[in-house]
Structure 1
Amino acid sequence: MKIQTSVPTSKVARASQFMKAGVKVGGNYIKHYSKKLLDPDLSKDELHKDNAADIYDALSELKGSALKMAQMLSMDRGLLPVAYSDKFTMAQYSAPPLSGPLVVKTFKTYFGKTPAQLFDKFSIEAVNAASIGQVHQAWKDGKKLAVKVQYPGVADAVSSDLKIAKPLAVRLLNLNERDIDRYMGEVESKLLEETDYELELKRSIEISEACAHIPGLVFPKYYPELSSKRILTMDWLEGMHLKEFMKTNPSQEVRDRIGQALWDFYDFQIHTLRQVHADPHPGNFLMRADGTMGVIDFGCVKVIPDFYYDNYFRLVNPDTIDDAQLTEEIFENLEFLTSEDSPKERAFFSDLFKQMTRMLAEPFAVESFDFGDDAYFNRVYAFAEGLANVDELKNSKVARGSQDGLYVNRTYYGLYAMLNELKARVTTTKPEWLRSTKALV
C-alpha cells in the first residue's frame, strides 16, 4: 500500500491539490468527447471511472474534510454513478496511511513521548486509514489496544477545504450552489467536532455506556490517560467490516441478529438519547460470526433538537400523511414549504414530499421489514435519481429542508443501506406514538 510521508497543510498547497483534480477531470472530459466523435454510442462508464480515480487520489492525499466528503458521498448510491461510490468507499477504511515518522511526531507533540515510551508494544504500521485519522495496534499491561492518530493539519484546514471543494462539488454532482451554502455550516461544525478527539472520547464513553444494555452490541473501553486532542486509545475489538463479513456467507439468522442490533441501537439513540452516531458507514462496525457486532468511532454525533424531532417523527407516523392540514403544517416547520411559494409551487412540493415521506417511512409502517427486498431499494434509488431531474427543484428560489435534517436523513440512509447489504429481516421497534392507530391492511 502507498505510504504518505507528508500531508499538504498550507492553504496554497491544499488548493493546488483541488486544482490538480479539476484539471484532470477536465482532461478526462476532453478524452471522452474525442472518443465519442468516433463512437457516438460510447457510454460514460470509462469517464466516471477515470474521474473517480483522479478525484480520490487527490482527496486521499489531503485527508481530513476533503476525504470525509468522499466518504459521505460513497454512502449516497442515488447521488453518484457507481464508479464514484465504489471508489470513494475506500475512504471509509482504506485510505493511504501516514509514514511512521509523522506518527511519532504527533505523539511527541501531544504527550512529549514516543509511542514506544507510552505502550509496551506499538505497531508503527497502520492497520486502517480513513478520512480523519488512522488506527494502529498497541499493547499495554497485557491488553491489545486500538490507537487512533489524527492526520496533521486536518483540524486547521476544515473551513478552507470546504470553500475550495465547493466548486468541484457543484460541477461534478450538478448540485445547486445555494443548497450547498445552506448546509455548509452544519457540515463544517460536524467536521470540526470530528477532529476533536477529547470530545469524541467523552461522547464515546457516554453513548456506549447508555447503550450497553442493547443485545448483540459490543463497545470498547476507552483510556483517557492515553488519549489527547489528536490521539484516541481504546480496546481492540475483533470483527470484520460488512463486505468482508458477507463474503463468509453468514446464515440468515446471524444476519438478522446483527441487523436487529443495528436497528435497536439507532432506535434507542434517536428516541431516548436524542443524539445519534451519525456516521453509519461500514467502517464503524465490526461484525462477528456469532451475530454480535462491535461499534466504534463516535466522532460524528448529531444532537437532535426537540422541535425538529417532534415534527420529523410526527411525519413518520403513517396516520399523519392522511391529514392534509397537519402534513402541510409539518412541511412548513421542516422548511419543505416556505412563505415564498406560490399556490402552484405549494401544491407541487406538497405532493412531492408526501411521496418521499411514504416511501422512506415504509419500514416504520409495519411491525417487521425485510431490508433484503431489493425492489424497495430500487424504488428509493430511482426516486432519488428522478429528483435530480425535477426542474421545479433545480429552479426553486429557496433551498428546501431544515439543516437539522442533513445528518438525521444521512443516518437513516446509511442504516437502511447497511441493512440492505446484510439482507436482514428486522423487527422495527419504535415508540408507541409512532404506530398507526388504523388496522394494518
Structure 2
Amino acid sequence: DIYKSLSELKGSALKIAQMLSMDKNILPKSYVDKFTQSQYNAPPLSGPLIVKTFTKNFGKTPEQIFDTFNLKSSNAASIGQVHQATLNGKKLAIKIQYPGVGDSISSDLKLVKPFAFRLLGMSERELNIYIKEVEERLLEETDYELEVRRSIQFSEDCQNLDHVVFPKYYPELSGKRIITMDWLEGLHLKEFLKTAPSQELRNKIGQALWDFYNFQQHELRAVHADPHPGNFMITPNEDLGVIDFGCIKEMPNDFYYPFFSLISTDVINDKQKTIDAFRKLDMIHEDDTEEQVEFYYKAYKEMISLFAKPYINKIFDFSKPEFFEQLYAYGEKISKMPEFKQARGVKHFIYVNRTNFGLYQILNELKATINTDTYEP
C-alpha cells in the first residue's frame, strides 16, 4: 500500500504525497483519494515522545508550561502534529515536529524518487532539479524558529486584507521543534462545504483566498507555497484563517518580471517579446535550433494561454470544469512528447506553478467566481 508506506515515512515523503495529491491528473485514479488523506492526517506521535520533545526544548514537561495540555493530537500533518493547550485562559495550538524529520529528508526523498519518477515520467535530470528544490524548501519547513518569524512577518504584512485572519504566534513558547500559536476555530474546506454554504459565501471565501495570494505575489514577492486545504480554515465569522507558513517561496526579480509579463496581452501577443521572456525563464535555450525555438514557443504559448486564463479574465468562474479539463489534457499531451523529457524552465517554476495550481483547485472546490483584477504586476 503506497499511501501507508509514505505516511509511515512522515516528513519528506509524505510532503511529496501531499503535493502529488493536489495534482490529480498525474495520479492513477485509485491512488487519488488515499493521497488526499495525507492533507489532513498522519500516524500520531506517542505521549512519551511528546514529553521528551518538550523536555529537550524547554527543560520542562508540557504540563509544567501550560495550564492544560492534551497529549492526544487534534491534527497530524506531514512533519508535525498539533495539540490543544490552555494558558492564562487562552486556547492554544501547539505544533510539535516529528523527531528526526530534518535528518531524514535526503533519505526520504531517495526512497520516494523512483515512485515520483514513474508517475511524473520526466527525465532524470529534470527530476533531480525538482527534488533539489523540494529538498531546500523542506529543510526550511523543519526550521520552526524560521517558521515563527515568517508567520509573524506575513501576518503583519497581510493584516489589512479583507476577510483573512491569522493566529497570534508566541516565540517565547516556541523552539526548534515546537510552535505555539492561538487556537483558530473553524472548519477545513471539506467540512465547510458539507454545510452547504451559499454561493455568496463561497465567493467571499474564494475572493479572500485569491486576494491573499495575489497580494503576496505582487506586493511581497514571496508566497505561502503550500496551498492544500489543510492549511486553511473558514472561521465562525466567515473569514479565511491561514494556519501554516512553513513553506514560503520567494520570487527573485529575474523570475518575477518575465514570469508575470506573460499574463500581459501586450507580451503574449508579441512573438518576439514572448520568446525573450521564455529565454529569461530558461524555457527556450540559447543553443536551441530555429525549429526548436518555434516548437517551444508554440507549446509554451499554448500552456501560458491556458494557465493564465484566470489572470487575463478579470472575472473568472472556477466552477467550470472545462478550464481544468483543458489543463489536464494539455498536461497529458506534453507528458507524451519526447521534447519535454528534459529540464526546461528555472527552478522557481516548481513551487510557483504548484502554488497557483493549488490555488485554482481550492477555488474550483469552492465553485467560486472571483474578481481576479485586484493586484497587478
Q: Aligning the two structures, in what range does the TM-score lie when normalised by the shorter sequence?
A: over 0.9
**Secondary structure, aligned partner of 2:128:** helix
Which of 347, 355, 360 is matched with 1:411 structurally?
355
Check the 8 A contact 1:276/1:302 in 2, yes or no. yes
Give the partner amino acid of 1:136. Answer: H
Alignment CA distance shift 1:289-1:256 (3 Å): farther
Unaligned runs of 5+ in 2: none
**Secondary structure, aligned partner of 2:24:** coil
Query: Which residue of structure 2 lines up, in the alignment, with residue 143 of structure 1?
Result: 90
Q: Does 1:258 align with 2:205?
A: yes
User: What pairs with 1:91-130 in structure 2 (closer than 5 Å)?
Assistant: 91-130=38-77
Listed one character per residue, the Cα deviations across residues 360-405 of structure 1 (whole Å, up to 9, x for unaligned) are: 11111122111111111111112112221123223xxx41111011
Distance 2:312 2:263 in 1: 8
Which of 74, 78, 82 is matched with 1:131 structurally?
78
Shifted more, 401-410 versus 342-351: the winner is 342-351
Check the 8 A contact 2:283/2:345 in 1, yes or no. yes
Distance 1:273 1:176 in 2: 33
Check the 8 A contact 1:264/1:429 in 2, yes or no. no
Q: Does 1:351 align with 2:295?
A: no
Q: Does 1:291 align with 2:238?
A: yes
Give the partner amino acid of 2:224. Answer: H
Deviation at 1:91, TM superposition (A): 1.3
Percent of aligned positions with the same letter in both sequences? 57
Which of 33, 36, 58 is matched with 1:86 structurally?
33
Shifted more, 318-327 versus 379-388: the winner is 379-388
**Secondary structure, aligned partner of 2:38:** helix
Listed one character per residue, the Cα deviations across residues 270-317 of structure 1 (whole Å, up to 9, x for unaligned) are: 101111101111000001364311101100001110110001000111
Deviation at 1:406, TM superposition (A): 1.0
Q: CA RMSD in A?
A: 1.3
Distance 1:120 1:291 in 2: 30
Q: Does 1:180 align with 2:139?
A: no
Give the partner amino acid of 1:262. Answer: L
Distance 1:111 1:424 in 2: 45
**Secondary structure, aligned partner of 1:316:** coil
Distance 2:303 2:12 in 1: 30
Which of 137, 150, 157 is matched with 1:210 structurally?
157
Which of 183, 186, 198 is matched with 1:236 structurally?
183
Higher relative contact order (CA 8 A, sep 6+): 2
Distance 1:287 1:328 in 2: 42
Check the 8 A contact 2:70/2:85 in 1, yes or no. yes
Q: Does 1:69 align with 2:16?
A: yes
Deviation at 1:241, TM superposition (A): 1.0
Q: Does 1:327 align with 2:274?
A: yes
Deviation at 1:167, TM superposition (A): 2.2
Q: Does 1:157 align with 2:101?
A: no
Give the partner amino acid of 1:362. Answer: K
Give the partner amino acid of 2:338. Answer: D
Query: Which residue of structure 2 lines up, in the alignment, with residue 312 of structure 1?
Result: 259
Check the 8 A contact 2:185/2:236 in 1, yes or no. no
Check the 8 A contact 1:169/1:175 in 2, yes or no. no
Query: Which residue of structure 2 lines up, in the alignment, with residue 368 of structure 1?
Result: 315
Q: Does 1:60 align with 2:11?
A: no
Check the 8 A contact 1:364/1:430 in 2, yes or no. no
Which of 392, 402, 410 is matched with 2:346 structurally?
402
Query: Which residue of structure 1 lines up, in the alignment, with residue 339 of structure 2?
Result: 392
Give the partner amino acid of 2:307. Answer: L
Distance 2:316 2:192 in 1: 22
Shifted more, 222-231 versus 361-370: the winner is 361-370
Distance 1:119 1:290 in 2: 28
Deviation at 1:260, TM superposition (A): 0.5
Give the number of equivalent residue pairs: 377
Check the 8 A contact 1:311/1:333 in 2, yes or no. yes
Deviation at 1:75, TM superposition (A): 0.8
Check the 8 A contact 2:40/2:75 in 1, yes or no. yes
Check the 8 A contact 1:254/1:290 in 2, yes or no. no
Unaligned runs of 5+ in 1: 1-53, 435-441
Deviation at 1:430, TM superposition (A): 4.2
The TM-score with structure 2 as length reference comes to 0.97
Check the 8 A contact 2:126/2:343 in 1, yes or no. yes
Give the partner amino acid of 1:388. Answer: S
Listed one character per residue, the Cα deviations across residues 328-361 of structure 1 (whole Å, up to 9, x for unaligned) are: 0111111111123222222111101000000111
Distance 1:229 1:180 in 2: 30
